[in-house]
Structure 1
């Protein structure tokens, strides 16, 4: 049993690609936690998609045994966290389980937007921070400049920042010593009633739900009857263990330790992140404060390309939701696309990851409708509805006003690209809140509408700044604006999958772009097809797709003109009738391409 003074719990936080997972690899390798033959890059990123994209999606835990320079044995519990803004929820809850953080900053790039966001989360959780300057093996590394930047931008003392190269292993020993010297040991009382925090849970085919816990007080042993304080459910602990990174069974977990338990829990839904676990009898009285549940930000429809695969898609989505508590879904049907699901995500990267996993792990081809956000629609009779899908917008004559979600976006960008970034934010109806300069880089803070950001703001930002800008946001609440629902009509029939909410001032431009795009995408038919964008009963843009025409007069040579006229009149009447009863086939690709507008 390890005494509390010899335990250290910490997480690694940084911006995307600053080397968190590589640093974790080196810490594991340096302490011989994993045999040399089992070592591989990004050891803790276990999902295929994480390894392929080179990003961390789930926070992962590992327990390391370390013999310090003073000859004493220490137990280090490390949580490797994601860097992307979509997974900030993973970061915030990992931080509550530990007492300190390694702040990793790339010594060639300096402080970026997500570095700031994660530092503020760590400071909120009362963490001790150890600044680590990574990538010192690169020729562009500038340790003094970046240390100065950490002090200017973040405001923490960087005089003791540790220069390391996670790639070559230089400086890793110093990091381990600093963890023991500078981070506080956990607090806790072994004799108090059991109080443990549920940090995360995942589904395992053989064991059921595996629950990651951090023990605050008391001891948890195999065979204990435990109770979840939020749900009131009672379970028997079947196995108890720690991650080294493979699951290793232990006899008990004491205060300050991080480990896992299994207890025949069937669904991840039954384990609420942030819940307090205690014993059924003589449990603790007050639960821990817990976390706010994650709130989906972006919604979109997922439909199978082949409607016969709908049941397979339902199974796939239910299995994914077992593992991902921040993903929500409900059934919906669409006239153009058949049956599918309306799903809620924490952001566009989260949406992409879920979509890729369904296509890859369950082999189902998907159509994704345009991402949209939740609008608050206030009716004239005083009621309020939450609008997830623009196609469900009630008649505007009954609507008093519509509110849309706004975000506060922080963008860090080199000076030379600042003009382009300001123009981009202005075009997206942004309101500038702040603009400051720190050593050759500008930090712009904007109030932006979320529905302008979910489409392709991030891609546009990266392209106008050649990839140098970094971007982070948080939700700021709702505000009224002049929003209208724009419908697309093809041959006078509304296509609900292409409905969208737009600002009235930009509706005409969006409508025209959409009609022009569809004109190129829909194949020609035997009759002419009008493509219109409309707000309510008013058409704001129109394109006409001309008809394919058979030459009916080819067999008439010479002779009276009336013979030709008769044939042409007959063709005209046929086309008129065909247009009344004809059905326009819109190919699947047209939906996907039409939604990727704003080019």
Structure 2
């Protein structure tokens, strides 16, 4: 395949598809693959690049995928197109960022019925940061509710992109998709690179394959990457010999080498994904390039929670499962922890709530382990009176209040797009969550709100509440802007006067009572014991909410017929004394279903 292996740089186009969730990225990718003959009609299926079951079920993209297509343009030339399909969800923004760094241009897909959404904005700004040429594409043009002129105007007003020549397509039916391919080859720039320079390649992604070891996805900037070559990873310093080189069409196709501007993969008997950092520079061991590429900031987990097996005997299986998931998801962090209530488990770090949900679902589904997740918490900065600062991931590790000078919490800037009729409810929700409004503008009939909010108010159930108060019409995107001092306290839950570490949370003092009431309310419905059990939410020594689980009672007077009332009273007194004795010796077991219910914080 030597002729096409040396595709001239001017005939290569590297591009990604960016859009809000559900605007049709993966469907457009399917059509492009089909038109370029990447797969036969028999091999085609919907969302062909979404390989995980969970992606196909939820209809979202989680991992960025890549594919090479050959397209014969109307001018008779054959172009090599490298397409990277990116996720649209806020939690996977790091996937989007590294995909964009490997390309020169983007297709911006906007739903012609819904218009510009919060995530559309976030992804466009990332593309502009990477100096991309952007082609606007209006999708779902065949739907009766499509309003292409309104959406064109919206793209110009909200994003500031010229949309007069935006392409109108229907990715589902294939209408206008041929024009998209023509626009890619004529409107997007070709990559630059020097074939004779030392090898310089950007490490875009890596994943673990049971047969090949670590598979590394790279974009070649300069030089060539060949089979049998000795390479070095500049950040980690590891040196390896390349075993195989190839490209995805979407099926693997082996090559002898990859040249400048090309995107492909190699394997080199690398044993751990942790050895291949995203954004690293791959170079020749003997003739290295002078300076590494700038790379990416490592992804920072923002939400933490404990994961415990429902059945304590499955702890070793869980240890093995999180180890295997870490192989394929470098943004997932974990360390071991123990809890008196839930036994052995892991404290895990995630990029957001959807990321948490996906990891949890994959553990339960792929490894068949029943899990309990503790309440999600964020990273706090705790400044002690001796001048030191520690990062607090777990509320159970909070130092003594006497030693704390101040606590800082992370704040985010949230962009919310919502139809005008739901604006009041969304404003109220943001105000209730201690939000500060910084901007309110209009794009047609939709309001664009920019709010600063504390992250710990968002991780509980903000997204669900936003969807319910706006009937599903609001879209939401956020990024962290920094840390601010807050009036934060640790709220502990006491069951029969014993603190339950798995249920302790850090809350703002003004919302502590409401949160405490909600949690004790949930635990109140636990199955009873033979004696009354008090459940209390407390801050330090002060109880702020209390409920009682009623005692189970046996009717001891059932067989007492006739005679004086004192006979019945005697039996009841005897029962009361027994319960008192039981309470002093009894151990309280709250079933795990009750813990799970208390951890699922619902609407206020």
Q: After TM superposition, is the score higher than 0.5? A: yes
Partner of 1:337: 342
Q: Is 2:563 the partner of 1:551?
A: no
1:43 and 1:269 mapped to 2: Cα distance?
28
Partner of 2:209: 204
Q: How far is 1:382 from its partner?
A: 1.2
- How big is each residue's C-alpha offset from its partner over 1:475-515, in whole Å with a ceiling of 9 and x where there is no partner? 01111110100011111111111111111111112112221
Partner of 1:23: 28
Q: How far is 1:236 from its partner?
A: 0.3
In structure 2, the residue corresponding to 1:36 is in which secondary structure?
coil
Choose 537-546 or 144-153, whichever is displaced more.
537-546
Q: Is 2:69 the partner of 1:81?
A: no
Q: What pairs up with 1:293-372 in 2 under 5 angstroms?
A: 293-372=298-377
Partner of 1:161: 166
1:573 and 1:286 mapped to 2: Cα distance?
81
Q: Is 2:178 the partner of 1:176?
A: no
2:101 and 2:442 mapped to 1: Cα distance?
32
Q: How far is 1:306 from its partner?
A: 0.6
- How big is each residue's C-alpha offset from its partner over 1:139-184, in whole Å with a ceiling of 9 and x where there is no partner? 1111111111100000010011010110111111111111111111
1:18 and 1:563 mapped to 2: Cα distance?
76
- How big is each residue's C-alpha offset from its partner over 1:457-485, in whole Å with a ceiling of 9 and x where there is no partner? 11110111111100000001111110100
Partner of 1:399: 404
Q: How far is 1:580 from its partner?
A: 1.2
Choose from 472, 481, 487 the match for 1:482: 487
2:106 and 2:558 mapped to 1: Cα distance?
82
Q: What pairs up with 1:166-565 in 2 under 5 angstroms?
A: 166-520=171-525, 522-565=526-569
Choose from 545, 569, 586 the match for 1:582: 586
TM-score (norm 2): 0.98
1:155 and 1:392 mapped to 2: Cα distance?
47
Q: How far is 1:391 from its partner?
A: 1.3
In structure 2, the residue corresponding to 1:38 is in which secondary structure?
coil
Choose 250-259 or 506-515, whichever is displaced more.
506-515
In structure 2, the residue corresponding to 1:37 is in which secondary structure?
coil
Q: How far is 1:427 from its partner?
A: 0.6
1:194 and 1:222 mapped to 2: Cα distance?
13
1:553 and 1:25 mapped to 2: Cα distance?
74
Q: How far is 1:554 from its partner?
A: 3.6
Choose from 46, 50, 62 the match for 1:45: 50
Choose from 95, 98, 105 the match for 1:90: 95
Q: Which segments of structure 1 move beyond 6 Å, counting only runs of 4 or more?
A: none
Partner of 2:66: 61
Q: How far is 1:561 from its partner?
A: 4.9
Choose 16-25 or 553-562, whichever is displaced more.
553-562
- How big is each residue's C-alpha offset from its partner over 1:541-590, in whole Å with a ceiling of 9 and x where there is no partner? 11122222223334444445554444333322211111111112211111
2:559 and 2:485 mapped to 1: Cα distance?
65
Q: How far is 1:447 from its partner?
A: 0.4
1:513 and 1:221 mapped to 2: Cα distance?
61
2:554 and 2:176 mapped to 1: Cα distance?
78
Partner of 1:573: 577
2:341 and 2:151 mapped to 1: Cα distance?
54
In structure 1, the residue corresponding to 2:13 is in which secondary structure?
strand
2:565 and 2:59 mapped to 1: Cα distance?
72
Aligned residues: 598
Q: How far is 1:593 from its partner?
A: 1.1
Q: How far is 1:18 from its partner?
A: 0.4
1:95 and 1:412 mapped to 2: Cα distance?
24
2:182 and 2:447 mapped to 1: Cα distance?
36
2:135 and 2:561 mapped to 1: Cα distance?
92
1:566 and 1:519 mapped to 2: Cα distance?
31
Q: How far is 1:58 from its partner?
A: 0.3
- How big is each residue's C-alpha offset from its partner over 1:356-410, in whole Å with a ceiling of 9 and x where there is no partner? 1111111111111111111111111112111111111112121111111110000
In structure 1, the residue corresponding to 2:571 is in which secondary structure?
helix
In structure 1, the residue corresponding to 2:377 is in which secondary structure?
coil
1:328 and 1:545 mapped to 2: Cα distance?
38
Partner of 2:3: none
- How big is each residue's C-alpha offset from its partner over 1:525-552, in whole Å with a ceiling of 9 and x where there is no partner? 1111111110011111111222222233
Q: How far is 1:268 from its partner?
A: 0.5
Partner of 2:129: 124
1:51 and 1:562 mapped to 2: Cα distance?
71
In structure 2, the residue corresponding to 1:240 is in which secondary structure?
strand
Q: How far is 1:266 from its partner?
A: 0.5
2:455 and 2:101 mapped to 1: Cα distance?
28
1:257 and 1:223 mapped to 2: Cα distance?
18
Structure 2 stretches lacking a partner, 5+ long = 1-5
Choose 418-427 or 506-515, whichever is displaced more.
506-515
In structure 2, the residue corresponding to 1:93 is in which secondary structure?
helix
2:601 and 2:57 mapped to 1: Cα distance?
27
